[in-house]
Structure 1
Amino acid sequence: MAQKAVKTLAAANTKRLNTTLAFTLGIHLVFWLFRALVFRSSFTRKSLLLYLALASPQLFINFLFEKQSRPVNAPDGSIKRAGEDLEAKGLTEYLWDVTYWTYGVLVLVTFLGDWAWIFWGIIPVYSVWLAWSTYSGMRGGYQDAAGVPQPGAATSKRQAKLEKRGGQKVQYR
């Protein structure tokens, strides 16, 4: 059972990347088919430029995921590199949000028209909100839901109980 974690990560990455690739191709193919066959009159240079400008970040993100997270196998069949974890928190999570939101906007644009591209503008607003909340959290010293600063792992359960009862106070330096 050597490298079980590597094998598990490689299998999970492969499955998720294959699903994402199929979904991306399907969404974009439906978009182009509807634009070419059903809504032929709305197929203009403006709509092409909007598509290229607003769908290309999602396509770039998919390329990035493929490049960084697709497992690489050695010639003997063993796993040479499992790739980056696609379930990671932080930036990877945000990139998945952009991908899924772009899917939704593409579906809306497919059936409602070019004016629905305005929904894609929510992504930069969400980015600014995330950046601000991260900045204010770091500046404020990471507080809990009640707004009470957390000193970290410095207090044990016993110390917390004593402080709650008003007993022995622990002074932090």
Structure 2
Amino acid sequence: MALSSRTHPISLGSYLFFLLVRTVLFSHRLLPFALLNPPARAIEFWYEQTGRPVYHDTANDKELQKAGEALDAKGLTEWMWDVVYWSWGNTVPAALLGAWAWWLYAVVPLYSAWLALPTYSGARSGFSGMSAGAGREGSGGAAAQSKRQAEFQKNGSQQMQCR
């Protein structure tokens, strides 16, 4: 199935469901919806522009001018699909449960920060170890060498062999 035959109807359905439920059954608070869903709509628009093939009309037939980009690629494209899916998944609970359900959007950045914290602290401690080693080099010379370096200097005539 093509991009628009799945993505656009799902988006339209979730957004219409939200608007109908929030305007007919509950309060008319639409500001969080208006602020939090434009990134997903912008990504859908970008996918529409880059994912569709472009044809050029010739005298006899249509000729493919530009093939559409692969929308199942890893990395940024995959992350942008996650943003679209997360927007759909937050729109329905926000329609049923109220404005506080928009706080579900904060789950992903908080989880990402929680996952990145050990990486950041590990890199920070690694950099502090590098600066401590740099301070020793200028002071002692021989004390700053590792055992392997000292052994290599002691046996200076031998050359390094690959194993």
TM-score when scaled to structure 2? 0.64
Give yes or no for contact 1:17–1:70 (8 Å, CA) kept in 2: no
Unaligned runs of 5+ in 1: 1-11, 140-169
Q: Sort the Cα spacing of 1:25 and 1:84 in 2 relative to 1 into closer, same or farther, 3 A.
A: same
Question: Structure 1 residue 60 and structure 2 residue 42: aligned?
Answer: yes
Aligned to 1:34: 21
Report if aligned partners of 2:3, 2:48 keep a CA contact under 8 Å in 1.
no
Q: 1:68-107 to 2 correspondence within 5 Å?
A: 68-75=50-57, 76-107=61-92
**What's the offset of the Cα at 1:77?**
2.2
Shift in Å, 1:128: 4.3
Gaps of 5+ in 2: 124-160
Which one is further off, 28-37 or 88-97?
A: 28-37
User: Among the aligned pairs, what percent are the same residue?
Assistant: 39
Q: Which secondary structure state, in structure 2, belongs to the residue aligned with residue 73 of structure 1?
A: strand
Q: Which amino acid aligns with 1:106?
A: T
Q: Which residue of 1 aligns with 2:100?
A: 115
Distance in 1 between the 2:52 and 2:113 partners? 30
In structure 1, how many angstroms separate the alpha carbons of the residues matched to 2:83 and 2:95? Answer: 18
Contact 1:98 1:123 in 2 (8 A): no
CA RMSD in angstroms comes to 2.5
Q: Residue 98 of structure 2 aligns to which amino acid in structure 1?
A: G
- TM-score scaled by length of structure 1: 0.61
| 1:25-61 CA-partner distances (Å, limit 9, x unpaired) | 111011111112122xx21xxx322111111111111
AA aligned to 1:49 is L
AA of the residue aligned to 1:82? A
Which residue type is aligned with residue 107 of structure 1? V
Instruction: Pick the structure with greater CA Rg.
Output: 2
Check conservation: 1:109, 1:117, Cα contact below 8 A.
yes
